[in-house]
Amino acid sequence: MTVVIYDPTLRDGHHAVGHQLDAEQLRAYARAADAAGIPVVEVGHGNGLGASSLQAGRAKLSDEEMLETVRAALPNSRMATFMLPGWGTTADLRMAVARGVDIVRIGTHCTEADLAERHLGWLREQGVEAQGVLLMSHMATPVRLAGEAAKLVSAGAVAVGIMDSAGHYLPEDVTERITAIREATGVPVLFHGHNNLGMAIANSVAAVRAGATVIDACARGFGAGAGNTQLEVLVPVLERLGHPTGIDLYGLLDAADVAGRVLMPAPPTIDSVGVVSGLAGVFSGFKGRVLDVARREGVDPRDVFFELGRRQAVAGQEDLIVDVALALAGRRTNT
């Protein structure tokens, strides 16, 4: 079974650097990824089209600049982008299509697939390949995820899948969910892992064994929180398991070296906060904001993550971080 690799280094990686990648950084990595034969390169603000803001973080470049820069650097690879309804709009999709996007992923919270219906329908009408992605997918049962994925297919998605947005899964969790979605939809199924508990490669392998044919991975694991599935490790692992990707090994390793030199001050690591984020099931992209607010309010960021987990915080609820930190600070003062 051939596995198609999607590389969101230039989208998810933005979380790790405050969305501050510049045009030369984007161009350098995109050229290396294209030379390696990586089939799909995803680009944009970490939270997707239209998300550059005070709440989610202002990007150095506009969505238009990012897409135009990367499109020009990909003579062979296809270009993808990502959008969350509420952050982005149909106008953002129209702009992206005009700038040569080949694939658009519409993401929603794992129980809110209905929110993607209008945007998936619009993309289908335009003849653009659209995929539906369920975020924070550990918060729903396999049966519920399968039902939500089926809604995405009915709305126009030609592939569907899940993001382990908090890096919370173990392989058996992935197996159950991918199997349920595959059986319920009959379209290609995708998996996007994070590495908070050190399980991103194992979880991606579990996804493939359960029938997923589209797997996300980032160079050097460059991504939110403890990072994503490490691309230059995943591809040779899949090849050893008998799943060809069509990616050139030396070119892939060269691209990873470019990413290490050009994109990141240091590769992502699984630090104590990352582990707690994974255990608590909290969106990995909250890490920077949690650290800043916890430091300001004089509270333990690990306590903030566990409380966010108890409150079932999801992406887009960044303001809740401040509320939690203030509540913890007040609780400490009262004792």
Tokens matching residue 235: 């591809």
Annotation marks residue 119 as catalytic:
no
Work out whether the CA dihedral 26, 28, 31, 34 comes out positive or negative. Answer: negative
Tokens matching residue 307: 């409380």
Nearest alpha-carbon partner for 282 in 298, 258, 302, 305: 305
Q: Is 291 exposed, middle or buried (0-12, 13-18, 19+ CB in 10 A)?
A: middle
Q: 100 vs 68, 84, 133, CA distance in Å?
A: 8, 19, 21
**Distance of alpha carbon 330 from alpha carbon 335, whole angstroms:** 9
Partners of 309 in beta bridges: none
Q: Is 334 exposed, middle or buried (0-12, 13-18, 19+ CB in 10 A)?
A: exposed
Annotated catalytic residue: which of 15, 19, 138, 194?
15
Whether residue 284 contacts residue 12, with contact meaning beta carbons closer than 8 Å, is answered with: no
The strand ranges marked E within the chain are 4-8, 40-43, 78-83, 103-109, 129-135, 159-163, 189-192, 214-216
Active site residues: 15
